[in-house]
């Protein structure tokens, strides 16, 4: 049953029950309201209840195809029953005549002005017929007094006629206004919901993170981009203080607030990220400030690129200076080494003298290798690109490396090479990349483990990926970001330039170098290079 029909049934039950209670009150109080047999009153009340129940059953069984016709029919039946109640309670002098208005209200509410005026017309016809039939003695008058005569009859009829039509018109008019306002309210709510959904979609579709805070500096909202940047769902940060998320805002957040600033934040996994913030006041519809809006972007990659460019520029300058210094050092170093070699061959020194000369020669050789590596890092040779077969290059490098002092017998080897992997690159420089990565892997495994080399192309055939993995002890997390820095080393006697040279060569080839390491699980260096 529709909500509107349910309301109508309730209304009719209330109307009928009120009428019954009025009759019982008059009867019990001995008020002379019934001029006819009292059982007729109960009969008419029974008819009203029956009419209501029939309506409810028809609506529940969904047998009604035309609700308006049913309401017209019920209103007509109600008016006829009310006419009967008025007849047995005094006709023109009955105190139940206003019951007509209740029937009119019912029709007006359900069918608006058209229904209200129709009900007023039906009630007027029934009431006019009753008065005229009594006046002309067509039906006997049950009142002890004579029926109205002349002008009194006309005035009584006109009074109720006016009341009926006013009730019908006003009820219908108010029902129409309520319906219109209801539609407008629904339309307004739909517009509001659409606007709210649009604003929500805009905020959630932003590439930048957005969060809001209340006057207590508690986080109240975080969009999806913000969740991705900060590495956690909005619920994790809900009601947290903004200074807990952005420590740089701890001091004098209100007084020292700037519209734009840069700060750092820590993800739940402990990773530090660099953020750019834009802060503005959050105002309600009255213009009152109710908090702050903070829009932020992850600047970590940009800052790292800026730092990398700064280092590159600095190293280029240093390289030019260092190249000259290295040459100046290497020339006298060669002379010293040659002179000591001659002295060793010509002089017959003691055991102590021979040992000292050996130390000088060894250290001169180590210094010479350091200078060679430094020159290779500071001023790499110009690229001499050729067509390079990656599988062949790996094989030839491994063949030489397996016979070098750095190779250990406990090292096992595994290769997974994709078919037909060729790129345009400098073969000597790529050999240097492989050599340094092999040395790094073997040293990390401390004489025993698996060295695995993998190479493949991407689906489009434009990028070649080369991976060198070991099963060593891994790189500590605190050292991961430092391993490509010049002169950083954790090895005894290491120069700290091997991985720096690898990074430099890969970079000038237009590629990238990444590292992934797990404690006691090993390390994987991933080199990606363009084919062309």
Which structural domain range is residue 505 located in?
Answer: 386-530
Judge if 148 and 255 occupy the same domain: no
Q: Look at residue 32 and tell me whether its pLDDT is greater than 60.
A: no
Task: Let me know: does 211 contact 226? Beta carbons within 8 Å.
Answer: yes
Q: Look at residue 125 and tell me whether its pLDDT is greater than 90.
A: yes
- For the chain, the domain total comes to 4
Torsion 67-69-70-75 (CA) sign: positive
Rounded CA separation 272/457 (Å)? 33
Judge if 285 and 308 occupy the same domain: no
Rounded CA separation 512/525 (Å)? 10
Rounded CA separation 525/403 (Å)? 23
Judge if 9 and 109 occupy the same domain: yes
Residue 347 lies in a domain: yes
Judge if 288 and 215 occupy the same domain: yes
Judge if 350 and 425 occupy the same domain: no
The CATH number covering residue 307 comes to 1.10.287.130
Residue 69 lies in a domain: yes
Domain's final residue, options 298, 321, 338: 298
Task: Say how many Å lie between the first and final Cα of the chain, rounded.
Answer: 74
Domain's final residue, options 344, 378, 412: 378
Average pLDDT, the chain: 79
Judge if 430 and 360 occupy the same domain: no
Residue 477 lies in a domain: yes
Judge if 311 and 345 occupy the same domain: yes
Task: Let me know: does 122 contact 76? Beta carbons within 8 Å.
Answer: yes
Judge if 250 and 160 occupy the same domain: no
In three-state secondary structure terms, 448 is coil
Judge if 425 and 465 occupy the same domain: yes
The CATH number covering residue 248 comes to 3.30.450.20
Judge if 309 and 287 occupy the same domain: no
Q: Is 444 exposed, middle or buried (0-12, 13-18, 19+ CB in 10 A)?
A: buried
Q: How far is CA 332 from CA 319, 325, 358, 364, 376, in A?
A: 20, 12, 18, 11, 20
Q: Look at residue 527 and tell me whether its pLDDT is greater than 90.
A: yes
Task: Provide CB contacts within 8 A for 180, sequence distance 6+.
Answer: none
Judge if 217 and 137 occupy the same domain: no
pLDDT digits (tens, 9 = 90+) for 274-324: 888 888 888 888 888 888 888 888 888 887 787 777 776 766 666 665 665
Residue 95 vs residue 188, higher pLDDT: 188
The CATH number covering residue 452 comes to 3.30.565.10
Judge if 87 and 47 occupy the same domain: yes
Residue 199 lies in a domain: no
Task: Let me know: does 147 contact 135? Beta carbons within 8 Å.
Answer: yes
Look-up: residue for tokens 């110009």? Answer: 382
pLDDT at position 51 is: 79
Torsion 51-53-56-62 (CA) sign: negative
Look-up: residue for tokens 């206004």? Answer: 177
Residue 444 lies in a domain: yes
Residue 250 lies in a domain: yes
Residue 202 lies in a domain: no
Residue 175 lies in a domain: yes
Task: Provide CB contacts within 8 A for 168, sequence distance 6+.
Answer: 104, 107, 108, 113, 116, 117, 118, 119, 120
Query: Per-residue pLDDT averaged across 368-377, rounded?
Result: 64
Domain's final residue, options 253, 280, 298: 298
Q: Look at residue 190 and tell me whether its pLDDT is greater than 80.
A: yes
């Amino acid at each position: 049953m529709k909500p509107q029909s349910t309301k109508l049934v309730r209304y009719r039950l209330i109307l009928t029950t009120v009428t019954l209670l009025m009759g019982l009150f008059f009867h019990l109080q001995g008020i002379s309201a019934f001029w006819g047999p009292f059982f007729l009153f109960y009969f008419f009340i029974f008819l009203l209840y029956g009419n209501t129940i029939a309506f409810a059953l028809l609506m529940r069984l969904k047998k009604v195809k035309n609700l308006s016709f049913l309401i017209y029919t019920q209103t007509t039946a109600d008016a006829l029953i009310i006419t009967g109640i008025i007849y047995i309670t005094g006709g023109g002098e009955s105190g139940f005549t206003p019951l007509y208005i209740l029937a009119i209200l019912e029709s007006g509410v359900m069918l608006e002005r058209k229904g209200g005026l129709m009900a007023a017309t039906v009630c007027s016809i029934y009431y006019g017929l009753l008065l005229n039939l009594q006046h002309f003695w067509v039906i006997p008058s049950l009142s002890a007094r004579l029926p109205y005569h002349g002008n009194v009859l006309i005035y009584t009829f006109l009074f109720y006629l006016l009341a009926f039509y006013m009730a019908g018109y006003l009820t219908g008019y108010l029902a129409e206004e309520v319906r219109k306002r209801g539609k407008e309210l629904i339309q307004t709510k739909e517009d509001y919901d659409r606007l709210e959904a649009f604003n929500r979609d805009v905020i959630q579709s932003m590439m930048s993170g957005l969060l809001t805070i209340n006057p207590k500096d508690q986080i109240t909202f975080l969009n999806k981009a913000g969740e991705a940047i900060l590495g956690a769902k909005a619920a994790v940060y809900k009601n947290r203080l903004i200074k807990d998320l952005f420590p740089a805002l701890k001091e004098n957040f209100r007084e020292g607030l700037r519209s734009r600033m840069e700060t750092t934040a820590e993800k739940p996994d402990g990773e530090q990220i660099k953020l750019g913030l834009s802060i503005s006041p959050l105002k309600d519809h009255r213009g009152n400030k109710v908090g702050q809006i903070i829009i932020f972007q992850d600047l970590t990659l940009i800052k790292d690129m800026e730092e990398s460019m700064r280092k590159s520029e600095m190293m280029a300058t240093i390289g030019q200076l260092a190249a000259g210094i290295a040459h100046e050092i290497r020339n006298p170093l060669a002379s010293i080494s040659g002179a000591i070699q001659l002295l060793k061959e010509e002089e017959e020194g003691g055991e102590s003298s021979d040992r000292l000369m050996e130390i000088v020669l060894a250290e001169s050789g180590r210094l010479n290798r350091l200078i060679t590596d430094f020159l290779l890092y500071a001023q790499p040779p110009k690229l001499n690109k050729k067509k390079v077969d990656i599988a062949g290059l790996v094989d030839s490098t491994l063949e030489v490396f397996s016979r070098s002092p750095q190779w250990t017998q406990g090292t096992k080897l595994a290769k997974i090479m994709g078919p037909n992997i060729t790129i345009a690159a400098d073969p000597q420089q790529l050999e240097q990349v492989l050599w340094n990565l092999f040395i790094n892997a073997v040293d990390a495994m401390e004489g025993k483990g698996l060295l695995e080399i993998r190479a493949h192309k991407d689906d489009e055939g434009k990028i070649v990926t080369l991976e060198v993995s070991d099963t060593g002890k891994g790189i500590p997390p605190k050292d991961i970001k430092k391993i490509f820095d010049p002169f950083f080393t954790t090895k005894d006697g290491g120069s700290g330039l091997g991985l720096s040279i690898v990074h430099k060569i890969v970079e000038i080839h237009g590629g990238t170098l990444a590292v992934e390491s797990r404690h006691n699980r090993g390390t994987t260096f991933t080199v990606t290079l363009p084919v062309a």
